[in-house]
Structure 1
Amino acid sequence: MTAQQAAVDAAITESLAEPSAGVARVDVGDETTLETAWGLADRRHDIAMAPTHRVAIASGGKGFTALAVMSLIVDGTLTLDTTARSILGDDLPLIDDRVTVRHLLAHRSGIGEYLDDDADLSEYLLPGPMSGYVSPEDYLGVLDGHESIFEPDSRFSYCNGGFVVLALLAQRASGIEFHELVRERVIRPAGLTATDYLRSDRLLGDAAVGYVQVDGAWRTNVFHLPVIGGGDGGIYTTAADLQRFWRALLAGRIVPADAVTEMTSMVTPPDESGEGVGYGLGFWVPGPGRVRLVGMDAGSSFASEHDVATGTTASVLATTGMGAWGVGEALGIDNL
C-alpha cells in the first residue's frame, strides 16, 4: 500500500463517520493510480457507492458555465468586454452598467450576492418551490434587489449570482437554452459520457443522492437546491469524466489553447482571494501549471485539480457538504 493510499483510507474512515459517501481517483498520464469509493450512494435502497456513480459537483459546475461563455467569445457572439447591461436591458437595474463578462468570470463584478455562501448548509436559502428554478430567467426575481458591494474590478469577491447572470447572458446572446448550450459547447466536444444536468426529481439509477443534516436527521437535499443545476453549479459527473475533461480542456478541444491560457492564468492572486489559492476566469489557479475546480453545497462537496507538468489529475466527489475535504487533502489538493 502506498503512503497516499494509506492517507486516503484514513480520511475515508473519518468521512464515513459523518456519514458521507464519495469517490476518489488519481490519474497520472494514462494510468489510474488510485480509485476508490465509500459509503452509500442511496441510503433508502442501501446502494453502495461505486467509482462509476455520477455525483453532483456544486460550484464545480462554474467551470462549465465559464467555458460555454468563452466559446461564445471565441465565435464572436460575446466579448470579454461585453457589458451585462447591453444584454440585460432593463432587467436587474442594480447591476452597475460598467460590469462586463470579464468581471463576472473573475468574481470581480461587485454585484450583490443572491445566495449566502456562509449560511448553514441545513438552511433553505431560496424562496418558493425548488421546481421553479430551471432556466436562468427563473432567477431574475432572486437576483434582483441586491445593491453592488464595490466598484467593478476593484477587488475579488466570490459570487454565485455572477455566474447565474453569465448563464442568463449566454442564453440570451446565443438564443440556445443554457443547459443545451453547455452540452453543445463543453460536454460533447470534451467527450464526456456521464456528465449532464440531471433533475433531482428524476435522477438516473447511476446518480448518487445528496444528503444534508437538518435538526439532527439526515435528509436528501431535494428541497434545498434547484431541481436542476444552473450557471452557478449543480452539474453531475464522474471521476472518470473529470479526467477526460481536463485532458480535453488542455488539448484545446473545448475552446482554443489561447482561450484556455487566458482562463487559467491568475487574475486574482492567493492573498487577494482570501482562499490561499489564486483565481482566473472561471477556474481556481493554485499555482503555475495547476488548475482546479471546487464546490460545496447542501449534499455536495467536490474538488478536482490537474497538474500540467506531471499530467496528474486528482478528484474527490462526495454526497455531503463536508465529506470531500479530508480525502481531498490526502490526495494532495491543498487549501481546501
Structure 2
Amino acid sequence: MVLGEVERVAVETGFSGVVWVDRGGEVEFAEAFGLANRAYLVANTVDTRFGIASGSKGFTALAVMSLVRDGVLGLGTTARSLLGGDLPLIADDVTVEHLLTHTSGIGDYLDEDGDGEITDYYVGAAHELTTTEAFLPLLEGHPAKFKAGERFSYCNGGFVVLALLAERAGGVGYHELVRERVLKPAGMARTDFLRGDELPGDAAVGYLPIEGVDRSNVFHLPVMASGDGGIHSTAEDISKFWRALFAGEIVGAVDEVVRPRVDLPEQGRRYGLGFWLDERTDTVMLVGSDAGVSFKSTHDPRTGTTRTVLSNTSPGAWPIARVLNS
C-alpha cells in the first residue's frame, strides 16, 4: 500500500515534515515526522507551519488575477507602465502574462538555471527585505536572457516584479493583497508571512543539508517572503486552498489560471499562470524548493484528491512525493 510505503521511506530517509492526503476534504492520511526545532527537540505535528518556498507563487498569481478580474490590471499590461524608471533593463514589451508564465526573458536575481546548489546562495542584507520595494536593488542590473515570449525560463525575480506591479496598481502592499484576496477567501487562517528571524513556536525551523551540523536557513532567505515565494502554511490550510480555488471562491476564472500556456515535455509538465500542470492529466501542482525548505502539493480536481508533503529540509519532500505520485 502506498501509505505504508510513505512511512517506510520516511524512516529510511530521516524525513522531517508532514505528509497529508485527503479526498474531498476527508483526510485519508496525515502524519508528522522529525523535529521542527532541533535545538529544543520540538517535534513536528500535523499542525506545524512550514515555509513553502516557490509554492506561494500560485498565491501571487491569484492576487494578480484578482486585480485583473477587477479591471485594475490586464494580462497585457506592460511592466514598464507601472515601473516608470525603475528596473530599466526590463524590456518595454514585457507584460503581466509574460511574467506569470515565466516567458518574460528578464534577468533573474536568483537564477535556478545557473550552476551550484540552492544552499550556495546567500541573500545580501536579508534582514532589510521586509517589503517588495526593498527588493529593487536585488532586481537591478540583470540583463535580459531573451526576448519576451520567446521561450520558458523559470524566473524568481519575475514574480517579485509581479508583486511590485500589483502593489502599484492596487495601492495596497503585497502581503495585504495576498491576505485579503487569497488567504481570507480560502479560509487559510494559519497561513501568513512570518519573519524568518522571529518564527513563532508553531513554525518549523528550516535546516540546511550539512551532515552533523544543525544550521538554519536564516541567512539564505529574505527575512520576509515576497512574490516569488516563502509564505508559511500548514498541510490542512493547503488542502483548504485547493478546495476554495476550484470552488471559485478566490478567483472566478479558475480555468484561465490552470489552462496550459507552456508545454515542457522535457520536464513532463506544463505551466499555467503561476501553477505547474501535469503533462497528461488535469492535476495541478504547487512546488517549492529552497535552502531548508521542500514542498509539493498536487490536486486532482476530478477526484478532489490532494497530496501534500511539507519539509523543513532542502531535499526532504522529494522521496515522499515520488511515492505519493507513483
In the superposition, the TM-score normalised over structure 2's length comes to 0.96
In the aligned structure 1, how far is the partner of 2:222 from the partner of 2:320?
27
Percent of counterpart pairs with the same letter? Answer: 53
- 2:120 equivalent to 1:123: yes
Kept in 1, the 8 Å contact 2:68–2:74? The answer is yes
- 2:170 equivalent to 1:193: no
- 2:28 equivalent to 1:33: yes
SS at 1:227's partner residue?
Answer: coil
Q: Name which of 9, 20, 25 aligns with 1:11.
A: 9
**Superposed CA RMSD:** 1.3
What per-residue deviation string (whole Å, max 9, x for no partner) do you get for residues 23-66 of structure 1?
A: 00000113211111110011011011111100000000100100
Look up the equivalent residue of 2:300 and give its one-letter code.
D
In the aligned structure 1, how far is the partner of 2:308 from the partner of 2:121?
28
Distance 1:97 1:205, change over 3 A: same
Q: What residue is the counterpart of 1:204 in the other structure?
A: 200
Q: Name which of 162, 167, 182 aligns with 2:178.
A: 182
Q: What residue is the counterpart of 1:22 in the other structure?
A: 17
Kept in 2, the 8 Å contact 1:112–1:147? The answer is yes
Q: What residue is the counterpart of 1:262 in the other structure?
A: 256
In the aligned structure 2, how far is the partner of 1:34 from the partner of 1:201?
32
In the aligned structure 2, how far is the partner of 1:37 from the partner of 1:164?
32
Q: Name which of 98, 105, 109 aligns with 1:110.
A: 105
SS at 1:122's partner residue?
Answer: helix
SS at 2:295's partner residue?
Answer: strand
Q: Any gaps of 5 or more consecutive residues in structure 2? A: none
Q: What residue is the counterpart of 1:328 in the other structure?
A: 321
Kept in 2, the 8 Å contact 1:8–1:327? The answer is yes
Look up the equivalent residue of 1:12 and give its one-letter code.
A
In the aligned structure 1, how far is the partner of 2:96 from the partner of 2:123?
25
- 2:303 equivalent to 1:310: yes
* Structure 1 residue ranges, 4+ long, deviating more than 3 angstroms after superposition: 213-216
Look up the equivalent residue of 1:143 and give its one-letter code.
L
What pairs up with 1:124-143 in 2 under 5 angstroms? 124-127=121-124, 129-143=125-139
Q: CA deviation at 1:214?
A: 5.0
How many pairs align?
323
What per-residue deviation string (whole Å, max 9, x for no partner) do you get for residues 292-324 of structure 1?
A: 000000010000000011110000000111000
Q: What residue is the counterpart of 2:49 in the other structure?
A: 54
Look up the equivalent residue of 1:105 and give its one-letter code.
L
SS at 2:185's partner residue?
Answer: coil
In the aligned structure 2, how far is the partner of 1:21 from the partner of 1:125?
23
Kept in 1, the 8 Å contact 2:34–2:44? The answer is yes
Kept in 2, the 8 Å contact 1:122–1:214? The answer is no
